[in-house]
Chain A
């Protein structure tokens, strides 16, 4: 059994101390990176609870794998979005800050999740580590980036920002669920699932490098 709280403590403390020493954007990035760890920890608790409920009650004739495919992405995306929503609602920052904070949460989440998987399944298999890095890690970062870019579009517009935030949350949850569905399958579907986040990241990097300007 792996005690996620202990991993969280040993990873988060140095980052919290670093955040106290740093200033400006770097501090913000460190704080949100640590919040990504926390989001991962809390969603792990919630997912474990859901798995236990499904195992005990057989909810809607779902298997645990099916429940994980359908419910986990929604839970994880909500947990990741909460600190970003708070940041956008509570502070008046620029678009770049929102995107950076959002990415930091996504990266923190992916890092913490990868730490857990490496401890659970061992670090001897290089291909497993590579696959984790390029797939699940990129999915979390991509979803967070989509949320960040989307919020940056409407955050100054008052009322329209609320349904837009909800819509983005729905979109990222489904994107994540499609990935989970493909990866849980076998053969070519699984391969497609592994390729999906890489293509998404490539497109996003391409667009960012092309310096696409967003104008309200």
Chain B
């Protein structure tokens, strides 16, 4: 168990370091390429939020053992989701009316993603009802983001409306899925033997967080 706790600590540090690096990289990219600067500024905000969230949790472990309740660390994670929602809304902003109408066909199928998110969140609340406020706080932006990610992915996949950004939306969907499983295993708890799948999800989350930058870069360059 101690080894797993050490791995957990290392995964937090790794994710923090990676987010710091990718945040700076996104910012520099936004400076360099003016045509896609807003996307990369917002991505640097996303990485900054994930970084600060991890740093806050690490500090509450190491500096002082704080009781587990809604904290600014959670708020920062919600902020990261809000930055991704801003990016998603930004994609749809410049659409001409015809394209918007065509994309409207995929609105109903895209509801599958929020339905899955809601199901996961109902499970969290059923397992650990004490943290209902935390789960609701996470659930709202996750549901919105998952809807936009799937909708934009379907629009791109079927109509090619957003050239090159298909992989970005898919990465965001994978990131949300990993996060849902990560939260599920953390809710089920270490005591019940879920430490190993939790750690696997933790490292997958680190990788997919980095993948968001590469997918956005690929999409913009395409």
Question: In the complex the two chains form, is A153's CB within 8 Å of B41's CB?
Answer: yes
Known contacts A154-B38, A178-B56, A214-B41; is A167 also within 8 Å of B82 by CB? yes
Bin chain A's interface residue count. Answer: 35 or more
| CB neighbours of B56 from chain A (8 A) | 174, 177-178, 181
Interface of B is mostly: helix
Could you tell me the distance in whole angstroms from the C-beta of A177 to the nearest C-beta in chain B?
4
Given contacts A70-B72, A182-B63, contact A154 B52 (CB under 8 A): no
**Which B residues touch A182, using CB under 8 A?**
59, 63
Q: Does chain B have a CB within 8 A of A24?
A: no
Q: A215 contacts B71, CB within 8 Å?
A: no
**A66–B49 touching, CB < 8 Å:** no
Q: Give per-residue flags for A82-97: 1 if the beta carbon is below 8 A from chain B beta carbons, else 0.
A: 0000000000000000
| 0 or 1 for each of B55-77: is its CB under 8 Å from A? (1 = yes) | 11001100110110101110110
Does the CB pair B76–A171 fall under 8 Å?
Answer: yes
Chain A residues whose CB sits within 8 angstroms of the CB of B48 once the complex forms:
171
Interface residue from A153, A171, A176 paired with B49 (Cβ < 8 Å): A171
**A154: B residues at CB distance < 8 A:** 38, 42, 86, 90
Whether A129 sits at the interface, judged by CB under 8 Å, is: no
Which of the residues A61, A171, A212 comes within 8 Å of B52, measured between beta carbons? A171
What 1/0 mask marks residues of chain B from 79 to 105 whose CB sits below 8 Å from any chain A CB?
A: 110110111011001000000000000
Provide the residues of chain B in CB contact with A178, threshold 8 Å: 52, 55-56, 59, 72
Among the listed A174, A184, A185, A216, which residue makes an inter-chain contact with B72, where contact means beta carbons less than 8 Å apart?
Answer: A174
- Would you list which residues of chain A between 133 and 187 have a CB under 8 Å from chain B? 150, 153-154, 157-160, 163-164, 166-171, 173-178, 181-182, 184-185
Determine if A62 is an interface residue (Cβ-Cβ < 8 Å).
Answer: yes
Interface residues of A in 19-76 (CB under 8 A from B): 60-62, 66, 69-70, 73-74
Residue of A at shortest CB range from B94? Answer: A157
Given known pairs A61-B67, A174-B56, A185-B63, the reply for A168 and B45 (CB within 8 Å) is: yes
Question: Which residue, A66, A174, A213, has most C-beta atoms of chain B within 10 A?
Answer: A174
A70 and B71 within 8 A (CB):
yes
Taking the closest CB of chain B, its distance from the CB of A33, in whole angstroms, is 26
| Known A157-B90, A181-B56, A214-B37: A167·B49 in contact at CB below 8 Å | yes
Residues of A within 8 A of B93 (CB): 157-160
Q: Given that A160-B93, A171-B49, A174-B52 are contacting pairs, would A66 and B76 also be in contact in the complex, using a CB cutoff of 8 Å?
A: no
Please report the C-alpha to C-alpha distance between residue A41 and residue B5 in the assembled complex, in whole angstroms.
43
Cβ of B53: which chain A residues have Cβ within 8 Å of it? 174
Residues of A within 8 A of B69 (CB): 60, 62, 70
> Which among A167, A170, A173, A181 is the interface contact of B63 at CB below 8 angstroms?
A181
Interface residue B174 (Cβ < 8 Å from any Cβ of A) = no
On chain B, the residues within 8 Å of A181 by CB distance are: 56, 59-60, 63-64
Report the bound CA distance from A170 to B79 in whole Å.
Answer: 5
Q: Mark B15-43, 1 if CB is under 8 A from A, else 0.
A: 00000000000000001001001100110
- Smallest CB-CB A-B distances: 6 pairs: A170-B79, A177-B72, A167-B82, A174-B76, A160-B89, A164-B86
Tell me the B residues contacting A by CB distance below 8 Å: 31, 34, 37-38, 41-42, 45, 48-49, 52-53, 55-56, 59-60, 63-64, 66-67, 69, 71-73, 75-76, 78-80, 82-83, 85-87, 89-90, 93, 141
Q: List 22 A-B contacts (CB under 8 A).
A: A60-B69, A62-B66, A62-B67, A74-B72, A154-B38, A157-B90, A157-B93, A158-B93, A159-B93, A163-B85, A163-B141, A164-B45, A167-B83, A168-B79, A171-B48, A171-B79, A174-B76, A177-B71, A178-B59, A181-B56, A181-B64, A189-B59
Known: A154-B42, A174-B76. 6 other contacts (CB 8 A): A157-B90, A164-B83, A170-B82, A178-B72, A182-B63, A214-B41
